[in-house]
Structure 1
């Protein structure tokens, strides 16, 4: 396989959101599930908890490190 498994970052984000957040976004700051709204920045959510209100993304605190380069540079399905 010479082509990347995911063709663009948006496809990776959609897959990560469905796997990591099956019940809606989870705030990594306060651990609240599903209480969010979309921030003005693309692909960024904001926690709706009054005491938190911090921004979050699906790649925040990800194992892979750099959220700017997801898997479009060579991520392949494991066999």
Structure 2
């Protein structure tokens, strides 16, 4: 014969809470993730690299695509 465990009062409607409400509940375990600047200060992460500027393209007004500056106007 197998032993049966008591699983509670039975199926009930689950209480749905939103994430903003869950943040306010003390009963839920919380995990504090360190901020990236804090990790950089502690030496865990390297310095934040400066973004490399993308090469700029010159937009020439009044010139159809595919024409160079040396091409005579049509």
Return the index of the structure with the highest Cα Rg.
2
- TM-score class, shorter-chain normalisation, is under 0.3
The structure richer in strand per residue is 1
TM-score normalised to the size of structure 2? 0.23
